Chain A
Amino acid sequence: MAKSVSLFVTCLVDQLFPPVGLAMAEVLERIGYSIDFRQAQTCCGQPAFNSGHREPARDVARYFLDTFEDAEFVVVASGSCCSMISHHYADLFGSDSKMMDRVHAMEAKTYEFSRFLLDVAQVDDVGARLNRVATYHDSCHALRELGIKKGPRQLLSKVEGLELREMPVAEECCGFGGTFSVKFAELSGAMANTKIESIKQTGADLVVSIDSSCLMQLEGTMRKQGLPISTMHLAEVLASR
């Protein structure tokens, strides 16, 4: 019987970018996993946590732990949400040893999508094909909290027909930052513009990332400016054939 993985698609992908979730499921099935999608799942609680509302964040985190308690692997469609679970749940329950046991158990089995492919499934070529020129955007929490840098590039390098070009400041923030993007909209927009200048320099017509939130920021800004550059989540690239 195929090994089972539980998808945590995140609220953003569920509500705004369902193709990302479907692509993730398709890739995982292609390499021999069966997919468990728990309809009870909602959000990781990061919006409340980052806004300083720890009690609501704790409530949502507890709910997340309940929902995925007996999962074998939890594969997350976002570096940022994954980091919320594997790095910041501990900040929420620091003094509660019983909760901390549950948090650590969850940390051990929660994987961002690209890391799951490389570290657990140990696959870097999923048989994808896409004729595009792409550049990869390092999302901040994946890069700096999870240490994900080479993995997505390795996966992209195996996609037939895809040319990957590095941008000058791949590691600089896109300016999204959750509620930051509406509390400081103009500043956030200025940060996006800097990132987009760097994307334009590569001549790529596609920006790839492992976080849909960054892509929403970049895509929305590029579309407002009428630029002919589109965005895809890594899972969507890997599902292409």
Chain B
Amino acid sequence: MSIQETLQDSKLQLAIYTATGRLMDHRANAISPELLPRYQEMRQHAHDLKKHTIENLDHYMEEFEKNVIAHGGKVVFCKDATEVSDFILRLAKERGAHLFVKSKSMTSEEIDLNERMEHHGLEPVETDLGEYIIQLAHQKPYHIVAPALHMTRFQVADLFTEKLGVPREEVIEEQTMIARRVLREKFLAADIGITGANFLVADSGAVVVVENEGNARLTSSAPKIHIAVAGMEKLIPRAQDLAVMLGLLGRSATGQALTSYTSILSGPKRPGEVDGPEEFYVVLLDAGRTKLLEDPEKRESLYCIRCGACLNHCPVYRKIGGHNYPWVYSGPIGKILAPQFKGLMADPWLPFASSLCGVCAEVCPVKIDIPRVLLQLRSEITEEKQRTNQGGLERLAFKAFAWAMRRPWIYEWGGMMGAGLLGNGGRWISELPIAPGPVKAWLSQRHLPAPAVRSFREQWRARRTK
């Protein structure tokens, strides 16, 4: 569905607005000064903490690995998506594994892990309700936190009937029970559980997973093997840092002081323990992250803890929804991540699709200055276009702009010409067979202001000579 189609679909518009609006309200309540007087301090603390970790990532990765090994687990460094799927395929082959349960992980979406596994005849099953729905629908997540945010219960009813062969059920609680019945069997039969990670704790070699459905805890404890797939930027130095990070993540995402489940997983089950996997792996994914580390201007993009608050508040996301962004990361954070991971010129329009209103930076719990990164990306894109001889007309226009703006008489003459042309609100221009694009685009949505007969500077001169 294109941007235009999304804008015109009033049901979808309402669904996006209602869902994101609810998350905004919950967050606003949770961080209110009455409930959380130290919120701004916590943000600064979290920002400084991520900055420190990212700038010393090599050190913390080593410390993390050492501690995972000490607990009987293993860390697997993967430079790209292929290395992750190769590792998983090899392990599956060695252990005779076929059925995988998965809890929600944007990192696995980022590397198309399900598609890669299915391609090799393995069966990955998403167990987060929203992820399960979009897996059945063969879609990508619509939102970082709420993957099926765009779907109504009626659409889910149709989907369940079609894919699961169950009688049509429109009550959400009953739909949940249907999914639960199917997924319980999968949990019991699964050979391997794959989770993501919200945080990786260096000083304790622990993987931290937050969730509200209990499916991630089952995924990481029921099957004999647990694999956590995480981007290497998920590291934090110490277990005590979780106090701030968890408090910000839940509140920013859903307005919860803590999510219903917080699992801190360190290693396989010890001798004498009843629960837990027998094997424990942490896949640390690079896939472009070290490249970003080298860039002091934009490396703050790696501070993101995937709370989704910038999506919920973004007036652009709330209009165009999640599927009009070119990658699984949507919204403002996706707008800065995609060009840096997928290539600057893969979708050169993306960083420009923003009014630079700045609400994303205002609500970001780790204070990523997203508008500043967007402006930096815009500049790099225009430079790249110049290098490859594209966008010559726009470049020329801004050159001319700068030339005229340093010559007030030219600027004034240009203004007078413009006022003449735009007389009658410019409407005649839009009726020309070949109307100038920007004017036509403007007039498609709104009228132009009635032009000033005389500019301010003319009127000021007249006033002075009176």
Residues of chain A at the chain B interface (Cβ within 8 Å): 9, 11, 13-18, 21-22, 25, 37, 39-43, 45, 47-57, 59-60, 63, 88, 91, 140-141, 144-145, 171-173, 175-192, 194, 216-217, 219-221, 223-224
Contacts and interface: CB of A to CB of B under 8 A. Distances in A.
Given A18-B454, A145-B358, A186-B3, 4 more contacts: A14-B457, A42-B406, A220-B449, A221-B446
Nearest to B372: A91
A77 to B, nearest CB: 9
B460 A37 contact: yes
B406 A189 contact: no
A173 B355 contact: yes
- The 6 A-B pairs with the shortest beta carbon distances in the complex, nearest first, are A177-B355, A189-B445, A220-B446, A52-B378, A56-B402, A173-B357
A240 to B, nearest CB: 18
Interface stretch (B180-188, B274-282, B411-419): B411-419
Nearest to B418: A15
By CB atoms of chain B within 10 A, which of A48, A141, A145 has the most?
A: A48
A14 B455 contact: yes
28 contacts: A16-B449, A17-B452, A18-B452, A18-B454, A18-B456, A22-B460, A39-B461, A43-B411, A45-B402, A48-B401, A50-B378, A52-B378, A60-B402, A140-B358, A140-B359, A145-B358, A173-B357, A173-B359, A177-B354, A177-B357, A187-B3, A190-B319, A191-B315, A217-B446, A220-B442, A220-B447, A224-B445, A224-B447
Given A15-B418, A173-B359, A184 B406 contact: no
Contacts of A144: 357-359, 361-362
A177 B398 CA distance: 17
B138 to A, nearest CB: 27
Main secondary structure of the interface of A (DSSP, over half): helix
B273 to A, nearest CB: 51
Contacts of A15: 415, 418-419, 452, 455-456
A169 B377 CA distance: 29
A11 B412 CA distance: 10
A91 B358 contact: no
Contacts of A179: 352, 438
B227 to A, nearest CB: 40
B118 interface: no
A217 B445 CA distance: 9
Nearest to B460: A37
B164 interface: no
B456 A56 contact: no
B447 A52 contact: no
Nearest to B378: A52
B355 A42 contact: no
Query: Could you say which of B320, B383, B441, B444 has the most chain A C-beta atoms within 10 Å of its C-beta?
Result: B441
B448 interface: yes
Contacts of A22: 456, 459-460, 463
A52 to B, nearest CB: 3
B381 interface: yes
B389 to A, nearest CB: 16
Contacts of A224: 445-447
B4 interface: yes
Interface in B378-412: 378-383, 394-395, 398-399, 401-402, 404-406, 408, 411
B401 A47 contact: yes
A13 B442 CA distance: 18
